[in-house]
Amino acid sequence: DAGVTQSPTHLIKTRGQHVTLRCSPISGHKSVSWYQQVLGQGPQFIFQYYEKEERGRGNFPDRFSARQFPNYSSELNVNALLLGDSALYLCASSWGPDDTEAFFGQGTRLTVV
Partner 1 sequence: GIQVEQSPPDLILQEGANSTLRCNFSDSVNNLQWFHQNPWGQLINLFYIPSGTKQNGRLSATTVATERYSLLYISSSQTTDSGVYFCAVAPYSSASKIIFGSGTRLSIRP
Question: How many residues contact partner 1, by CB under 8 A?
Answer: 27
x/- letters, 67..106, toward partner 1 (CB under 8 A) = ---------------------x-x-x----xxxxxxxx-x
87 DSSP assignment = E
Closest Cα to residue 92, out of 54, 13, 40, 36? 36
Which of 24, 34, 43, 110 forms a contact with partner 1 (CB under 8 A)?
Answer: 43
Angle at CA of residue 37, ends 35 and 39, nearest 5°? 180
CB 90 → partner 1: shortest distance, Å? 7
- CA 3 to chain CA centroid, nearest Å: 15
Q: Residue 16 or 37: which CB sits closer to partner 1?
A: 37
Angle at CA of residue 93, ends 90 and 95, nearest 5°? 165
Dist. CA 52–CA 98, nearest whole Å: 15
Q: Residue 18 or 72: which CB sits closer to partner 1?
A: 72
Q: Site residues (CB under 8 A) for partner 1?
A: 33, 35, 37, 41-45, 48, 50, 55-56, 58, 88, 90, 92, 97-104, 106-107, 109
